[in-house]
Amino acid sequence: MAEILGIFGDWTWWIIAGVLLVSELVATSIVLVWFGLAALSVGIADLFLGLTWQMEVILFVVLSVVYLLLGRRYVRTRATDEVNLPYLNQRVNAFVGRTAVLHEAIVNGEGKVRMDDALWRVTGTDAPAGSRVRIIGGSDMVLETEPA
C-alpha cells in the first residue's frame, strides 16, 4: 500500500481528490464529491502534519463516512425544498384559475392566448381577440377556457 500511495509523493491525495471531483462532474451522482472532499482534506492534513500512509488511509475512510453522512443530510434538506413546486413540469395545470387576454380570437372553438411570454392554443366558446378568458383546465399543450 505504501508503494501505491508513494508513487506520486506528496501529490497523491491531491491527485485522488482531483480525479474524484472531476468524476463527480461527469457522473453527477452527488456521491463522489464527498470522497473527493475527504481526499482533499487528507492532502491538506498530510501537508501540515506529515502523516504516515496508514494514518492517511484511516483519516480518508473516517472523513469519507463523515462527509457522506453530512452531505446526505444537506442534500436531503435541499431536495425537500424543491417539492414546493408542484407544477414544475406541468405548466398546463399551473395556469388553471388564471385569467388572460386572447391574443387571437377563438373561432370555431380554437384560438390563442399569451401566458408567461408564450403563445398557447386554447379551446372554448367563440370570442374576439382582446377578450378576457379564464383557464379552467387543459391537456397536452392546449388550454381550456371560459369567458372571464
pLDDT tens across the length of the chain (148 residues): 667 666 777 789 999 999 999 999 998 888 999 999 999 999 999 999 988 889 999 999 999 999 999 998 888 877 665 566 677 778 888 899 999 999 999 999 999 999 888 899 999 999 999 999 999 998 888 999 999 8
Distance of CA 75 to the CA centre of its chain: 11
Range of the domain at 138: 91-147
User: What is the pTM for the complete model shown?
Assistant: 0.54
Q: Of 84, 116, 135, which one is at a domain's C-terminal end?
A: 84
What is the CB neighbour count within 10 angstroms for residue 21?
A: 16
Q: Could you tell me if 65 and 123 lie in one domain?
A: no
Q: What are the cell numbers at 132?
A: 378576457
Q: Could you tell me if 47 and 106 lie in one domain?
A: no
| Partners of 120 in the β-ladder | 113
Work out whether strand 118-123 and strand 142-147 pair parallel, antiparallel, or are unpaired.
parallel
Q: Could you tell me if 111 and 50 lie in one domain?
A: no
| Partners of 115 in the β-ladder | 118
Total domain count, the chain = 2
Q: Could you tell me if 17 and 48 lie in one domain?
A: yes
Q: Could you tell me if 27 and 77 lie in one domain?
A: yes
